[in-house]
Amino acid sequence: MKLAPHAGQRSAAAGPRRQPGGPRTPAPGLAQRAITLRLGIATAGSTIAIALWAGAAALTANRGFDITDEGFYLLSYRWWHANLRTFTGVQYIYGPVFQGLGYSIADLRLVRLVTVLAANLIFGWAFMRWLRQRRPDAPPSRLWELAGVAAITACGGMIYSWLPLSPGYNDVSLLGGLLGVSIVLCMATAVDAERKVGFWVPAALGPVIVVTLLDKWTSSLATLLAVGLVGGLVLAPAGRRSLLRAAGWVLAGAALTVGLIQLFVIPLNAAIPQLLATNHLVGLSSNSPVQLLDLYARTGVKLLTNVVTGFGLLLIAAVGVAVARGKPARWVTAVCAAGAGVFSAWRLVADGDLRGGTVNLDRYPVGLVGVLTVAVVVWLAVQVTEPRNEPQQLTPGRSRSYGWAVFALLAVFPVTQALGTGNPLYYMAINAFSAWMAIIVAILTGFKPSNAPARRLTAALAAGAVVLSACVATSASWSHPYRTAGRAHDTATVAGVPALSSLRLAPADARRYSRLYRLLRPYIEPGGRAMMAFDQLPGIVLLLGGRPVGEAWYSAIDLPRTAAGIRSQCQAGHGWWGSRDPVLLYNRPPRATDIAALNYCGLNLNTDYRTLAPSSATMGLRIYLPQPPGAGGNRE
């Protein structure tokens, strides 16, 4: 027979005694269900965000075409094995893929989507596995990892925020860097768990090194230096032998990759000299280090000013939330933070910062950088005010003495992968926001129960980052794609133009391109005719089925570089085109540098060429065709 508990006693089943005036402690089952529910909601919300931007990218894969930057990528991929004059080796990465797809532009864009999703999922999973070991109080359910992976991948959609629709060298630099960071995280996870690092982990870094350096050596070198330094630090606790073993496997992976490229893709002894020569010209003019540093400094100050303007009140309120103690103070700071958050959100909406694309590139990074800044300020405030005998979980433990280096790598990677291009640094850095989102996830999961207000504020910031990323990436693909009209306007097929057969364009553009192709058809078929397009018209060469002379990109601000590229294609006054002289396309009057380069190749614009038609009939272009036989010049 059961005895009733004595007066003043509680049965074990009744749960823990609640102290007078103390907080009510929920039953363990209820608490666990509440945590599972929150994680489920977070995972579902982030998954919806992924579906939005990924769905928009998939549904717009066959819409729009940019004749400038995207045209450059695609033209270089079309002739990846024949035209080696280039400043980036990205054509040796995507060129074989493009060829394997039958030169379908829409399919290549779908390949880009798959690689973006895969790289971010790999990075997110590697990060959450590493973070699990540093969060001993984390819920045991795998839903905890899935929630983090989903949030990080949702922010990975920022690569679609403004870049051209087809993949380019910035994709390889960013996605390759993410894979490099993922490899470091895998090694750190094994070392923290006192397990042996599998040989395939450092070996996988070899291909990443070779491919990213071939793609864009300036930014990739900075990223790989950071990856290598942090990788060495995280392996240090495993001992010198483990470090040397990993270095050997990295070198083996790199050597194997170089050998495969040499044998099956392109002879590097032919490609590398052209890359070096072109990059030397680029460094002397348009993208010199001094000019880039000045640009980065000026635009960085501008971004900082906008962040302070839009998030200043929230930053102050966030510090209050982090340091407040006692119920009244926490209520007051919570109300202030809510009001400041509403103000910042209103500013984002009023300023149009939820829209992506180049039309809004000066504005939408402000919201994401502002969210990250507030989260870091909250964490720093908690660290400063936390009693010393209660260290935060972000502080590395005895066997995890280089955890700080991993967080430093996550912080600098978006910046390193952005280096080297003639754009403001934050234009490029924001594309890698998923790395910064990982920092926000680490901050969110690192608070103790006593820091509930700071944790709730950081959770709101994390949700805001996911929403902002989804809005920006989705709108950029759907309504504001790079230098094209948008899905609602790109509805017409380009009749009779094989290169654009997989796409739909704005009706007016489709008609213009079809008309131009028909007009030039007698002179450009069969395809592969040499063409020179001055300036920045590689997409026109692509749709006409032409092959570039020199670089696929003819810069409008660096005419000597273009001329050097043309001269590089001629030996003793003769080009590779034989008797089928190049077609010339101009969107400006010919200049002395162009004429001198033509003369070097044995071509005379005045005597060897005639105009096709008035520019009003050729999209505003001046098109020069070689003189027909017997007309006083070259052969047609």
7 pLDDT band, cuts 50/70/90, is very low
73: amino acid identity, one letter: Y
Higher pLDDT, 102 or 31: 102
Residue 19 has a pLDDT of: 45
Higher pLDDT, 61 or 361: 61
Helices (H), 265-288: 268-284
256-270, 301-315, 520-534, 618-632: the lowest-pLDDT one: 618-632
Residue 190 has a pLDDT of: 93
Residue 636 has pLDDT above 50, yes or no: no
445 pLDDT band, cuts 50/70/90, is very high
Taking CB atoms within 8 Å and a gap of at least 24, the contacts of 256-265 are 256/206, 256/207, 257/206, 257/207, 257/210, 257/211, 258/210, 261/92, 261/210, 261/214, 265/92, 265/96
Residue 306 has a pLDDT of: 92
pLDDT tens sequence across 526-582: 999 999 999 999 999 999 999 999 999 999 989 999 999 999 999 888 999 998 999
DSSP for 567-596 reads HTTEETTEETTTTSPPEEEESS---HHHHH
Higher pLDDT, 129 or 13: 129
Q: How far apart are CA 322 and CA 325, in angstroms?
A: 9
Residue 76 has a pLDDT of: 98
- Answer yes or no: are the C-beta atoms of 549 and 532 closer than 8 Å: yes
18-32, 69-83, 110-124, 128-142: the lowest-pLDDT one: 18-32
C-alpha distances (whole Å) from 466 to each of 153, 341, 434 are 9, 16, 10
- φ/ψ of residue 362, rounded to 5: -80, -15
- Answer yes or no: are the C-beta atoms of 98 and 511 closer than 8 Å: no
What are the beta bridge partners of residue 547?
530
Residue 392 has a pLDDT of: 43
Q: How far apart are CA 106 and CA 62, in angstroms?
A: 5
Q: How far apart are CA 254 and CA 262, in angstroms?
A: 12
Q: How far apart are CA 115 and CA 300, in angstroms?
A: 30
Helices (H), 479-558: 507-524, 538-543
Residue 350 has pLDDT above 90, yes or no: no
Residue 58 has pLDDT above 70, yes or no: yes
Name the token pair of 311: 């998030």
Assign residue 562 a region (left: φ > 0; alpha: ψ between -120 and 50; beta: otherwise): alpha
- Answer yes or no: are the C-beta atoms of 324 and 385 closer than 8 Å: no
Mean pLDDT across the stretch 149-168? 98
Mean pLDDT across the stretch 128-156? 95
133 pLDDT band, cuts 50/70/90, is very high
Residue 420 has a pLDDT of: 81
Angle of helix 200-215 relative to helix 169-192, nearest 10 degrees, comes to 160
Residue 387 has a pLDDT of: 65
547: amino acid identity, one letter: R
Residue 40 has pLDDT above 50, yes or no: yes
Going from N- to C-terminal start, the domains of the chain cover: 30-393+405-478, 492-626
Residue 289 has a pLDDT of: 76
Residue 399 has pLDDT above 60, yes or no: no
Residue 1 has a pLDDT of: 36
Return the closest-CA partner of residue 580 out of 538, 549, 621: 549
Residue 390 has pLDDT above 60, yes or no: no
Residue 388 has a pLDDT of: 53
- φ/ψ of residue 555, rounded to 5: -70, 140
The two beta strands, 504-505 and 492-493, are: antiparallel
2-16, 46-60, 174-188: the lowest-pLDDT one: 2-16
% residues pLDDT > 70 (the chain):
91
The two beta strands, 530-534 and 583-586, are: parallel
Residue 32 has pLDDT above 80, yes or no: yes
Half-sphere exposure (Cβ direction) of 397: Cα atoms closer than 13 Å: 10
Name the token pair of 212: 């990213």
The structure's pTM equals 0.91
Q: How far apart are CA 452 and CA 331, in angstroms?
A: 12
CA 238 to chain centre: 33
- φ/ψ of residue 446, rounded to 5: -95, -5
Is the peptide bond preceding residue 526 cis, with omega within 30 degrees of 0?
Answer: yes
Higher pLDDT, 8 or 340: 340
Mean pLDDT over the full length of the chain: 90
449-453, 476-480, 520-524, 552-556: the lowest-pLDDT one: 449-453
To which H or E segment does residue 574 belong?
strand 574-575
Residue 39 has pLDDT above 50, yes or no: yes
Residue 69 has pLDDT above 90, yes or no: yes
Is the peptide bond preceding residue 535 cis, with omega within 30 degrees of 0?
Answer: yes
**Could you give the 3-state DSSP secondary structure of residue 266?**
coil
Residues contacting residue 622 through CB under 8 Å, at least 6 positions apart: 585, 586, 587, 589, 590, 611, 615
Q: How far apart are CA 278 and CA 566, in angstroms?
A: 12
**Could you give the 3-state DSSP secondary structure of residue 610?**
strand
623: amino acid identity, one letter: I
Residue 291 has a pLDDT of: 81
Mean pLDDT across the stretch 235-249? 93
For tokens 């790989």, the residue is: 224
Residue 25 has a pLDDT of: 53
For tokens 């043309």, the residue is: 566
Q: How far apart are CA 155 and CA 148, in angstroms?
A: 11
Residue 148 has pLDDT above 80, yes or no: yes
% residues pLDDT > 90 (the chain):
79
Residue 360 has pLDDT above 60, yes or no: yes
pLDDT tens sequence across 470-515: 999 999 999 999 999 999 999 999 999 999 999 999 999 999 999 9
DSSP state of 63: B
Residue 26 has a pLDDT of: 56
Residue 359 has a pLDDT of: 85
Residue 629 has a pLDDT of: 66
Higher pLDDT, 15 or 235: 235
To which H or E segment does residue 598 belong?
helix 592-600
